[in-house]
Chain A
Amino acid sequence: MAVTMVKKQAGLTGNSAVAYAMKQINPDVCAAYPITPSTQIMEDFSSYVADGKVDTELITAESEHSAMSACIGASAAGARVMTATSSQGLALMWEMLYIASGLRLPIVLANVNRALSAPINIHCDHSDSMGARDSGWIQIYSETVQEAYDNLFQAVRIAESEKVLLPVMVCLDGFITSHAIENISLLEDAEVSQFVGGYKAQHPMLDTDNPVTYGAMTLPDSYIIFKHQQSEAIGRAKDVVVEVGKEFGNRFGREYGLMEKYRLDDADVAIVILSSAAGTTKVAVDELRAKGKKVGLLRPRLFRPFPFKEIADALKSIKAVACLDRVDSFSGFGSPLFNEIRSTLYEFEKRPKVINKIFGLGGRDYKVKDAVGVFEELLKIAETGKVETLIKYITL
């Protein structure tokens, strides 16, 4: 898509913004396969390739499994590699996601969140990326088109950091963000290349004078050692996310951290929610604040590694918290945000009551009134100390 920039501003959909970021990054190799709602990313990018706007080598794979496999091959070979997918595509990549992280390959993937079949549904929820939350990928969730765009540059830096060397998944909400046009600030190409820098792989397979074996067979004497190293590496990613987010802020005026706190500091109750639904929730916060209710919001930006200490610090003195998950961990004890946050807070003797709401599956609307309803329930819990239902579907 031709991007018309006026004073470094342009009206772009989430997908076009991601594709434009990819164009500016100009990776060595992209391998992808189309799926709604992320298709447009690769369509736009294919045009950039066809028009000579980038000199990336594009692999139009015959499946997402092969797309990720090709990304793995290209990354091990020493290339900077990016891809995009959604839903069933991410599910089909699942086997390879673990291999990408296990081989410590800094691949960047834009995941446009979409529900998983069955029944088939092309709209937004977080079942796809949440299903991959333990695959060893760093996961960053974006609220807006601007943030998705900005996150992509940071993802490259985080993935390739010598302290990390792990793949990064940048998530944005299907249709809500991927197809909505937002007026965003763009970086200059030169700013992008300065920020992301060049990439030099440590052990590229194409260095035939120094042959390396990738993906050896490990027995019980060594497998756990590798996994431990991987675990430490993803742990280190947290600080790198902060450093990179700060540097991005210093250079371009938009700083990013581990989470966003919205009117949270003096709040009695709070909603914790990811991605675009945070926007809706903020409207509810403002409405209730106007009525004198002390409500606030916490939107984790980084979900993997989960910044448990920082999130606990932000929530520990609040009276009641609702974790809103756009995914159901079927028959588990609540869904991912709830699981993480509730167990994080267990540390503290005086801790908030925490409840779980499952909302918006398959693109179901989440409205301001839904958020207001949750806040009202939380305020009651804060007052009485009593929780009626711990885990519940809303927006039904």
Chain B
Amino acid sequence: MATLKELAKKDELFSGGHRLCTGCGIPPIVRLILRSANAPVVATTATGCLEVGTTIYPYTAWRIPWIHSAFENAAATISGIETAYKALKKRGKIPKDKEIKFVAFGGDGGTYDIGIQALSGALERGHNFLYVCYDNGAYMNTGIQRSGATPLGAATTTSPAGDVILGKQETRKDLTRIVIAHNVPYAAQASPHNWADLSKKAEKALKIVGPTFLNVISPCPLGWYSKSEESIEAAKVAVDTCYWPLYEVENGVLKITYKPKQKRSIEDWLKMQGRFKHLLKPENKAILDKLQKYIDAEWERLLSLDGKVI
């Protein structure tokens, strides 16, 4: 694995000057992943903050070939690109030794919800690509609407904390598990605060032949109502509370890649974010307990699978 020094020496493929918010979790994730490829990268991005914020014509932050086609189809679009590569290589229109890595980026909305069919299809067909979901837990680009990834109890503009209904009523979808059920050679969860872990996983995923997947938590100060300067800390606390466990499944074997010495209470994470303000009131403790219980159970489940073939 590359050291931080080595990573820093690599070409910057994602330029500054883009319009993503201060403190947004997306840019460090994308930069690190692009730096972790040991070959040229061709990428696509689903509609969402990353796409809108990086390509306002006539500017582009992408120093690699990049395409945006629509919201729900990043996995299908990359399927086409990767297949064209296979076809043109076979026909000698691309040199035999020319290696290219294919990466699709999508938000949680573009991946858990509207794009899940295209993702599932591309995984099943076995294209050689890495899919990266940056999960900020809502449709941020359109103004913070709930998604299948939004945590239980979080207030969004379509699941507001009202007088009667207090934020999102459902627990989030476990997309990483759904992806694992496709028997892909590699799938992992990562976080931008742990750059070494993220970069190692990206490097591994990009090296493996076949469909690989990274689900990366991506703090969003705007939608989380959190402090811009605390984004990386918010990602860390999400991991230390085990809301966002860092683990990987490689060829069917599950491995937790980071175990907090002391698992923190979910309250520590909720406190940092205005979207959970209502959950901290004593009268709403039942929701908080439900969330904690869900997190505990999930963590126990992972611990019981650690090191095993799943």
The residues of A with any CB-CB pair to B shorter than 8 Å are: 28-29, 31, 55-57, 59-63, 65-67, 69-79, 81, 95-96, 99, 103, 205-208, 211-219, 222
- Complexed CA–CA distance, A67 and B80 (Å): 9
Chain A residues whose CB sits within 8 angstroms of the CB of B121 once the complex forms = 61-63, 66
Q: Which residues does chain B contribute within 8 Å of A57, judged by CB atoms? A: 83-84, 86-87, 90
Q: Does B162 contact A (CB under 8 A)?
A: no
Contact B84 A77, beta carbon cutoff 8 Å: yes
Please give, as numbers and ranges, the residues of chain A lying within 8 Å of B72 by CB-CB distance: 65
Query: Smallest CB-CB separation from B53: which chain A residue?
Result: A217
Instruction: Write out, one digit per residue, whether chain B residues 51-74 have a CB within 8 A of any chain A CB (1) or not (0).
Output: 110011110101111111110110
A76-B81, A213-B66 are contacts. A66–B86 as well, Cβ < 8 Å?
no
- Judged by a CB distance under 8 angstroms, whether B166 is at the interface is no
Are B88 and A69 in contact, with the CB atoms below 8 A? no
The answer to whether A70 touches B79, judged by C-beta atoms less than 8 angstroms apart, is yes
Q: Indicate with 1 or 0, residue by residue over B108-148, a CB within 8 angstroms of chain A CB atoms.
A: 00000000011011101100000000000000000000000
Inter-chain CA distance A66–B70, complex, in Å, is 11
In whole angstroms, how far apart are the Cα atoms of A213 and B61 in the complex? Answer: 9
Residue from A29, A59, A79, A99 in contact with B125 in the complex, judged by beta carbons closer than 8 Å: A59
Contact A211 B66 (CB under 8 A): yes
Are A62 and B77 in contact, with the CB atoms below 8 A? no
Given contacts A66-B76, A70-B80, A74-B80, 16 further A-B contacts (CB under 8 A): A28-B84, A55-B87, A57-B87, A59-B80, A62-B125, A65-B73, A66-B117, A69-B77, A73-B78, A76-B81, A79-B87, A208-B42, A208-B65, A214-B69, A217-B57, A222-B57
Interface of chain A, helix or strand or loop or mixed?
A: mixed
A100's closest neighbor in chain B, by CB?
B69
CA distance A73 to B102 in the complex (A): 11
Q: Which of A31, A70, A72, A103 has the most CB of B within 10 A?
A: A70
Pick the most buried of B83, B121, B124: most chain A CB atoms within 10 A of its CB: B83
Task: Please determine whether A73 and B64 come into contact, CB atoms closer than 8 angstroms.
Answer: no
Q: Determine which of A29, A59, A66, A216 lies in contact with B73 in the assembled complex, contact meaning CB atoms within 8 Å.
A: A66
In this complex, what residue of A is CB-closest to B56?
A217
- Known A-B contacts A28-B91, A206-B65, A208-B40; A77 and B85 likewise in contact (beta carbons under 8 Å): yes
Contact A208 B64 (CB under 8 A): yes
Q: With A213-B55, A217-B51 in contact, do A99 and B70 touch (Cβ < 8 Å)?
A: yes
Q: In the complex, which residues of chain B have a beta carbon less than 8 angstroms from the beta carbon of A99? A: 69-70
Chain A residues with Cβ under 8 A from B1's Cβ? none
**Is the pair A73, B81 in contact by a Cβ cutoff of 8 Å?**
yes
Residue among A66, A72, A79 with the highest chain B CB neighbour number at 10 A: A66
The reply on B100 being an interface residue by CB < 8 A is: yes
B208 contacts across to A, CB distance below 8 A: none
Which residues of B are found within 8 Å of A222, using beta-carbon distances? 57-58
Check: B21 CB closer than 8 A to any chain A CB.
no
Q: Is B36 at the interface (CB under 8 A from chain A)? A: no
The answer to whether A206 touches B84, judged by C-beta atoms less than 8 angstroms apart, is yes
* Among candidates B65, B68, B76, residue contacting A70 with C-beta atoms closer than 8 Å: B76
Q: Lowest 5 CB-CB distances: which A-B pairs, in order? A: A73-B80, A62-B121, A70-B80, A77-B84, A66-B76
Once the chains are docked, how many angstroms separate the CA of A71 from the CA of B67? Answer: 13
CB of B294, distance to nearest CB on chain A (Å): 31
Q: How far is the CA of A219 from the CA of B57 in the complex (A)?
A: 7
16 cross-chain CB contacts under 8 A: A29-B84, A55-B87, A56-B87, A62-B121, A66-B75, A69-B70, A70-B79, A70-B80, A70-B83, A73-B80, A74-B83, A103-B69, A213-B67, A215-B68, A216-B55, A216-B60
- Whether A96 and B67, one on each chain, are in contact in the complex, defined by CB atoms closer than 8 angstroms, is no
Q: How far is the CB of A200 from chain B (nearest CB, A)?
A: 9
Q: Taking the nearest CB of chain B, how far is it from the CB of A25, in angstroms? A: 13
How far, in whole Å, are A207 and B117 apart by their CA atoms in the complex?
A: 29
CB atoms of A70 and B124 under 8 A apart: no
Residue contact B80 to A69, C-beta cutoff 8 Å: yes
Interface status of B215 (Cβ within 8 A of chain A): no
A73 near B52 with CB under 8 A, answer no
Q: How far is the CA of A31 from the CA of B66 in the complex (A)?
A: 21
B13 → chain A, closest Cβ, in Å? 9
Contact status B66-A72, CB under 8 Å: no
* Shortest beta-carbon distance from A385 to chain B in Å: 52
CA distance A96 to B120 in the complex (A): 19
Q: How far is the CA of A75 from the CA of B83 in the complex (A)?
A: 10
